[in-house]
Structure 1
């Protein structure tokens, strides 16, 4: 990834007005997110229509469910819970508050909040329109009212922890920066595996959720116009 992109908030620390930040967010996050929504919904209709709901995914879900163990049931319950809405929002609020307090830069601190808000908007609209059924296996988690496609847990955790990983590049101690980055990269993968293991989503639902999270995190990181040097 381009270093100037990763460190854009360090290179240009000028304070924007609230109005200019909102205009930038509308142009650089909201508008592209509408395009992303269209692509995700289009793929969803393709899956449910010409692709016949990808029958091989049901076989995969049944194969994974057949290999469940009591230990992994307990472990994946924790991993899945990390992607719950209340956990994602709670962690986001705490980190935004801490970063705001430490840096005094509200326009930088709010990036994770923008990321999860963007992905949530795309997710809710897409899942409502596509209405894909969940895998035909025992569901180990309570099924939310949303449909299976795309995975909201995966999208939310990816958007949140990718922005944390980008923020972590400010950490001066190399070992700590690398550790935080690796942890932030692993967390969404654990969430995604847990959702597949626990029968809550098809594989493609999880992969598309990840794409939603990645794109929204990058859009959020780039939401504010900054000087390159």
Structure 2
């Protein structure tokens, strides 16, 4: 219930926001998308492509599996290692179903790469990247070294923002699509962080025997 209820509430909120933006307000964000087209350069194009690639499904799945395996090996805590995997799974479920219901068209500008068959709202790349890397930022709270912990968390929080900007820059999403993706991904990470009913009790046991650090 710690996962299903908040996920269902998130889905309702996403679909409601989508209908509000697309149908009721009929929000026109073309000026912003065209402004991003004007910013395109031979230098920024490959940079945005590299950032966007980080949010591809196969890349994020591989990232989750590798990180989860490393964390499980380091901490011996499978429930802890599963947080980013669960965050990505929740995001995928919310994104795929809500985007089909909302059905927003992609921006009417040149797309710098292939546009997935899913609709534009919310941004799947932004949501998935946010879910995984915010989850990793939460896991990083276990790192004892302050410098390392802050560095990891800052990098994990910068990447979703870079992804959001990249997706608008490449003409694949409206601004509100990526904003929704950031919100969805962050919420999914928080749901995953609190997923296990016995997590609080497990945390107390770990703190008691001194096995709770990851660095």
Could you say whether these structures have the same fold, taking a TM-score greater than 0.5 normalized by the shorter chain as the test?
yes
CA distance in 2, matches of 1:142, 1:85: 14
1:35-63 CA-to-partner distances (Å, cap 9, x unmatched) read 110111111111221201x11x1110011
TM-score (norm 2): 0.91
Q: Tell me, what secondary structure is at the counterpart of 1:147? A: coil
CA distance in 2, matches of 1:162, 1:86: 18
**Contact preservation (8 Å) 1:30, 1:118:** no
TM-score (norm 1): 0.85
Q: Spell out the pairing of 1:112-191 with structure 2 (5 A cutoff).
A: 112-191=84-163
Q: Which runs of 5 or more residues in structure 1 are unaligned?
A: 1-26
Q: Which runs of 5 or more residues in structure 2 are unaligned?
A: 205-215
1:56-107 CA-to-partner distances (Å, cap 9, x unmatched) read x111001110121010001100011111111111100000011111111111
Q: Tell me, what secondary structure is at the counterpart of 1:70? A: coil
CA distance in 1, matches of 2:64, 2:113: 23
Q: Tell me, what secondary structure is at the counterpart of 2:105? A: coil
Q: 2:32 aligns with which of 60, 63, 68?
A: 60
Q: CA RMSD in A?
A: 1.1
Divergent runs of 4+, >3 A: none
Q: Tell me, what secondary structure is at the counterpart of 1:49? A: helix
Q: 2:77 aligns with which of 93, 102, 105?
A: 105
1:164-211 CA-to-partner distances (Å, cap 9, x unmatched) read 111111112211111111100101111111001000100000000111
Matched with 2:11 is 37
Q: Tell me, what secondary structure is at the counterpart of 2:141? A: helix
CA distance in 2, matches of 1:50, 1:100: 47
How far did 1:214 drift? 0.6
CA distance in 2, matches of 1:40, 1:170: 31
Q: Spell out the pairing of 1:190-209 with structure 2 (5 A cutoff).
A: 190-209=162-181
How far did 1:151 drift? 0.3
Which deviates more from structure 2 when the two are superposed, residues 167-176 or residues 183-192?
A: 167-176
CA distance in 1, matches of 2:103, 2:180: 15
Aligned residues: 201
- Is 2:43 the counterpart of 1:47? no
**Contact preservation (8 Å) 1:148, 1:205:** yes
Matched with 1:70 is 42
